[in-house]
Chain A
Amino acid sequence: MEIDDKQIKELEKKARQIRKQIIEMICRACSGHPGGSLSATDIVVALYYVVLRHRPNEPQWPDRDRFHLSKGHCCPLWYAVLADRGFFPKGELTNLRKLGSILQGHPDRRTPGVEVASGSLGQGLSVALGMSLAGKIDKKDYRVYCLMGDGEIQEGNIWEAAMAASHYKCDNLCAIVDYNGFQIDGRTNEIMNLEPLVAKWQAFGWYTIEIDGHNMRQILEAFDAAKNYKGKPTVIIARTTKGKGVSFMENVCNFHGCAPTNEEAAKAYKELEQDTECA
């Protein structure tokens, strides 16, 4: 796959715009999950602007690639990207978490582009497995992408799905672990150790790729490698920084599920805008 520097720069710029949008949405809603939304931004931007085969004006196009956000609490990121791609008007973003809104606090099928609701952790890899098996039954060539949190994979259901996906040789399935190292109660590996994480996935029969989850080139190359790998599902272990892009949110556990104040949001915009100008 040819990726030129210009394209990388554009994607990085897009990621900063999306991060700014995330802060704005969560600040306005007075609740939501900024930390994990910011850590996964580069991955979701890469998916929706380069990797996924999709038609925003035809969300139910049968041959679309499927994306499932298993870490559903990070939906502000997803909503910002879906709106920017034209799945629904950007004006809707101001209604995040409001009564009657199409943008629920956790993903819901009333949002164009959302295939299956999520929010309860640990079930998404199974959902993606179901999509993968349906594609195999129908002999379709669409691919399925599932973004998981690192704390989330402490759920047993994830490993049931991991076992089944390799058993059924689901090479049309690509999972991503947003390995930002934090969960609500603290550092992931202090709350419940995940290591050796790569070896675990390999032992479950998966092809593994480790990347810096904020390096756009590495992200795109990983998705490309996953697409070309046959016979096994792929998991991309993306090492990320929780709260990435906003200095005072980075690696601060409290910003897992706390909205920034107006002052904090203003400070965050400034940082993200400065970055945009530099680029």
Chain B
Amino acid sequence: MINAVGRDIPEEVLKATGKEVFKGAYAYDDHEYTKAAPKVHAVCDPKRSKVVESIHEALVKCGIKDGMTLSFHHHFREGDYVVNMVMEEVHKMGIKDITICASSLGKANDPIVPYIEDGTITGIESSGVRGKIGEAISTGRLKKLAIMRSHGGRVRAVESGETHIDIAFIGAPTCDDYGNMRANGGKSDCGVLSYAVVDAEYADKVVAVTDCLVPFPNIPASISMIHVDYVCVVDAIGDPKKIASGAAKPTTDVRKIMMADYCTQFVINTPYFKEGFSYQTGVGGASIASTISLGKIMEERGIHMGLGLGGITTPMCNLLAKGLVNKLVDTQDFDMGAIESIKSNPNHIEISASEYANPFNKGAYVNKLDFVILASLEVDVNFNCNVVVGSDGMITGAQGGHPDTAAGAKCTIVIAPLLQGRIPAICTNVTTVTTPGETVDVVITDYGIAINPRRQDLIECMKDVDLPFCTIEELRDKAYAIVGEPDPVQFDDRVVGVIEARDGTIIDVVRKIKDFEF
């Protein structure tokens, strides 16, 4: 069945998942539903201890069995030990048919691939998959369909009961013996625990995993003891060096600086750039450079950002420290500067992923965004973006908050260099649609800038602005003139993964990779 972005979703996938096809970014506005609730075991007896000796004991006490869904967060990013540690134990116990529901999975989790192959893990639901796990899915080694969701979409799936978490394992930089978890302090400081909040609230069993047990009460807690069944102390929950890097040096790549300058010029020429505006940006070189150049103009003109949102890096914290941002609202900290800032600056505030981006709560922060600056692997002439499937057809990226912020922001800007080697970023059809074009307003490349024709208002206000505007088709044609028109990636017929839109409908599918044939 053809969906609203023109993708043909096979009937058998609709049948197998019970999902509907994507009908448009706001089709579920005013949708009525009943929230799910976990099955909870009360802790009334003050003599009962929550502390367990090992992951093994935690699993046993939580009643681990075949077919369960275990959940994890990705705040430790490429330094994460928790997923591997738990899955190794599950594997040792001979448990089969586990579904992992993670807020994201990275290369740090490559060691679980053998458990996919031996049937320990048969399902994966995540907002991002990189490295060998992505390869395992794309080569058809995962038994069930992988489900790829945005950050907001994951919260929606859990809160609406579409996904039921049996046991949540929540890595906590510090924790007391009753389960109050904080992201700050300890050995594996990660700043915030935003993505784990929904897991704590909706999983039947919740295990706090920490390498730094602190005296009770560990407050104010990111995740409260009222949700926590067990506390497990281990040697290390992550590799601090890989959890957060030092602040990235501003890029010296002129191409990125050029795109950043285009972006800043665009932003300040929209009507949304005024006192109290709200803004979110990413971690790429061009995004960071545009934050820095925007900061200069804000300073010159005395304009303040009312809200800075999302994954946070040092340059945003610098703007906060300078008094150019009123509130920095944080779901993830990408570097040490951001982690230090949230500890010390009272206007730098942690929120849950539901508050951030869940399309099915009563309004999320993303809905209040004026601007979001995003990247994309591919953008097609309908402004559809692909941030998940690489040019070799392999799953290798993350929706993250891309579809959420794009849908929420008044002005969604995607920055992408026109060519990545020989691969054109602007093309006729993206390999996989992960963010619908109706929510993407502007594409900025090193060769020119295209405004979505749906946004005649933006086209109008850029009429006299001296930037290299052109149509998206012109950008594609420029790219093809240089590198040639690409052939589509060759796939097998078998569907291995589903790309869910924020609202749980299917926006696209990912097929099994196949060897290239001439």
Is B a genuine binding partner of A? no
B contact set with A: CB distance below 8 Å: none
A contact set with B: CB distance below 8 Å: none
